[in-house]
Amino acid sequence: MLESVPTTYDLSEAIPRRASPVRLDDPPPYPISPRPPAAPSVLPKRRPAKTGKLRLRRRRATSRGHRTGRTQSTQEVREDFDRIAGLSREGGWDHNSHYHPLLLRQLPLRLHEALEVGCGTGAFVRSLAGRSERVLAVDLSPRMVEVARARSKGYTNVEYAVADANSWPFPEGRFDCVASITALHHLPLAPTLRKMGDALRPGGPLLVLDLYKARSPADYLVGALGFPASKAIRLARTGAMSGPRQPPELRRAWEEHYATDRFPTLAEVREACAEAGLRGARVRRRLLWRYSLVWRKPMR
């Protein structure tokens, strides 16, 4: 928890809608009479009947704030990832793990102590453990931490903790590396980046990989290129153009979670870095709908 994270671009607004044909059995816009009224009323829009699935989807959306545009509360995020953790499968290539080697290349060969914020099931933690004497990993979801511990049984230098990064007291100047993968969009960006930077020792790198909102033509172009690139990379890594089919319940859990996710634009990420005092931070658009952020704490 590379240079682009475009979200899906909806072209529906650019396509003109065809007017609905007039049906002979439609009711007239005013009662039939020998003479037409002086001011006929406007024909109301006819809406398609709601199916049971559509009603259920809209009821879920309304109850969770999808249609009001609000982001999820901390409790809702925790519940979502508790649910996802219980359904997730171990291993396999994905868009996050594709960039793990790139992030690891920003590190020295050996670290004393590293921190990951929003560790999920611990995939990157286990990579950090190969470079570090000790790794501390925190996550909001108790179920995620439970799964991460189960998958890290052979890693004696890893410690997991359930913690809310909004209120967790980041120890100042303690870690040789602080990392976060696809977690910061759930948190206030600038304050969290500032706390992560403060937790670093001088010279230590801050590493972030996360999704972003497409805004510029370049964002959309790189996002479009991500589709064939994803297929090609997966084919080269796994021998198949598509991954294993997700169970319907897991797919539904992710869809419902993403419906309330709010991602920053690259400009907003750079503004947050400036606000957090991360001078010289390198924010890069990546190919598979993600951005990377690398910053090194100045030596005193």
Is 40 part of any domain?
no
- In this prediction, residues 121-128 reach a mean pLDDT of 96
Q: What is the pLDDT of residue 52?
A: 46
Terminal CA-to-CA distance of the chain, rounded, Å? 28
- In this prediction, residues 232-243 reach a mean pLDDT of 89
For 246-285, strand residue ranges (E) read 282-285
Is 153 part of any domain?
yes
Full domain range(s) for residue 201: 97-215+244-296
Is 171 part of any domain?
yes
**Ramachandran bin of 173, using left for φ above 0, alpha for ψ from -120 to 50, beta for the remaining angles:** left
Band of residue 8 on the pLDDT scale cut at 50, 70, 90: very low
Name residue 6's amino acid.
Answer: P
Q: What is the pLDDT of residue 284?
A: 98
Higher pLDDT, 300 or 37: 300
Global pTM exceeds 0.85: no
Lowest mean pLDDT across 49-53, 233-237, 277-281: 49-53
Per-residue pLDDT at 233 exceeds 80: yes
What strands, in cross-sheet order, belong to the sheet with 177-181? 158-162, 132-139, 111-117, 177-181, 205-210, 291-296, 282-285
Per-residue pLDDT at 60 exceeds 90: no
Q: What is the pLDDT of residue 89?
A: 83
Q: What is the pLDDT of residue 64?
A: 39
Q: What is the DSSP letter of 200?
A: B
Is 248 part of any domain?
yes
Is 43 part of any domain?
no
Per-residue pLDDT at 225 exceeds 70: yes
Q: What is the pLDDT of residue 14?
A: 40
Q: In this structure, what token pair is assigned to residue 154?
A: 């052979």
Band of residue 72 on the pLDDT scale cut at 50, 70, 90: confident
Q: What is the pLDDT of residue 110?
A: 94
Is 165 part of any domain?
yes
Q: Give pLDDT tens digits for 168-211.
A: 999 999 999 999 999 999 999 999 999 999 999 999 999 999 99
Lowest mean pLDDT across 44-48, 200-204, 249-253, 264-268: 44-48
CA distances from 186 to 10, 49, 67, 72, 89 (A): 23, 36, 18, 8, 23
Is 26 part of any domain?
no
Chain position carrying tokens 């189960």 = 150
CATH number of the domain bearing residue 149: 3.40.50.150
- Specify burial of residue 158 (Cβ count, 10 A radius: 0-12, 13-18, 19+): buried
Is 137 part of any domain?
yes
| Total domains, the chain | 1
